[in-house]
Each structure stands twice: as structure tokens, then as C-alpha cells.
Amino acid sequence: CGDVRFRRTVLVDGAGLTRYPLDEELDLPAGDHVSPSARSFLVTCGADVPFARTAGLMAIAGGSSVSATTVMDSVRSAGEAIAGIERARARDLFRDGVAPGADSAAEEVLVEADGTWVRMRDGSMAEVKAVVAYAGKEEGRRLEPVRLGCVGEAPGDFWEQALAQVGSRFDLAAVERVRLGTDGEAQYVNGADSMPFADVAGFIDPFHVFRAVGRCAPVARRVAAGIGPEVGGGGGVRRRHRGDGRG
């Protein structure tokens, strides 16, 4: 419990550079004063509760005392590392043709994509884009889901990373059908054009269909109520995409 302090040998190599053999052997970041397990706690907890509260929780649990800034830096560093992995995976797939290593296979993959806007610390707004892919549902639960979330990525880059993320779970060569569900926003609907599969179909959820049609009508409520059962019965509006990318 509490702080754990230890001493380690510092060496100077032939080039005059300082070396920490123990740090290198344990793969510890240079100059880091927070252990990997403590850093993991700060990232996991700091993603859900305020940074100062996270620092307090670690102290309550018997860990070292750290500042809110240390928690913030931990979360940011983890996010940057994950984003770097996702971008590299997309580059490997779309530039070099190297597919990610998948741990399962499915003939049909269901994909949902959406975004939400959040206010940043400087007062500006940024969109969090998110996608989830899975092999179907069982008792309302997604089977083998794989997720991606990012901020500040252009739609094209987002979909490249999304497809690479899907490939990390499902063997892309084995996927024959993709069903994409969105709210109708162009950057998500057009994601179907980024998917190089023979059978890709896009669906818009009924709620957004009703709302959009209702806004176009002079008597929105009455018209929406009149067409609701007919549109809703088909489970949404469907866009089919052929293998040549035309919608």
C-alpha cells in the first residue's frame, strides 16, 4: 500500500548516454514515476469520472498520491497510443494491402455508425464518431462486437480505420454481406461506399425517417402519423450498394 520506492543502477554507455537497464528490461517508459498498473487504473477510472476524483480514488485504495494533471496526461497518452495503432492499421490495409490479424470469421457483419457533439475545454465543439460491428444478436446482445471511436478524423479516414478495426475481429476475406445502420447523415450513410464487399446494404432507422419526412410536410404531425405504419413496417429505408460502389 502507498508509495513503493526503490533504487536502480544508472549506467553511462560508450556514447555518453544515460541508460537504465532495469527500466529497459521491464519496458518502462523513460523517466516515468507511475507504475504500469497504477497508470492502468488512472486511465480506466479517468475515462469515466473527473480527473481529481480519480486521483482521490487511487489514494483511497492505498495507492500513491498523484495530481489531476497526472490523470489527465495518462488518459491523453493512452488515447494517442490507441489512435496511432488504429491509423497504422488503416495504412497497412489501404496502402500496403496487409489485412489485420482477425480472431474470428463471419459471412454477414452488421455495422452501426453514429456521432455525437461534445464541448471541448476551450469552448469549441468536436464530434465523436463511433462505429460498432458484430456478427448478429442473441437475446438482444451483440455477438462478438468490435468498436471504434475517434475525434477529429475526416469521414474518409474514419471509415478506413473502421474497416481496419472490423478486420481485426472478422476475417475480411470471409465477409460476404454487410448491413449498415445509420441515422441518415451523409458521412455515415456514405460509409457503405468505403466497404469493398459484393453485397452492402444501408438502412436508415425509422425514427429519423419519420422526423425528416414530417419536417417536409405542411401539416407535419398529421402526415407523419399517416405514413408511419407503412414506412415503419419495412424496418426503415434501405439503400443498396453494388460492388462497383454506386448507390
Domain extent listing, the chain: 11-96, 108-216
What is the distance of C-alpha 62 from the center of its chain? 32
Rounded to the nearest 10°, the torsion over CA 61, 65, 70, 71 is 20
Per the CB < 8 A criterion, the answer to whether 142 and 134 are in contact is: yes
Report pLDDT for 243. 47
Give the span between the Cα atoms of 198 and 242, in whole angstroms.
Answer: 6
Task: Give which of 240, 114, 92 is closest to 165, Cα–Cα.
Answer: 92
Report pLDDT for 232. 44
Report pLDDT for 109. 96
108-216 in CATH: which number? 3.30.420
Residue ranges, the chain, pLDDT below 50: 231-235, 242-247
Give the span between the Cα atoms of 74 and 46, in whole angstroms.
Answer: 8
The SS3 of residue 164 is helix
Report pLDDT for 225. 62
Q: Which residues contact 35 (CB under 8 A, 6 or more apart)?
A: 4
Report pLDDT for 112. 96
Report pLDDT for 240. 53
Give the span between the Cα atoms of 52 and 38, in whole angstroms.
Answer: 15
Report pLDDT for 7. 81
Which three cell numbers mark 103?
480472431
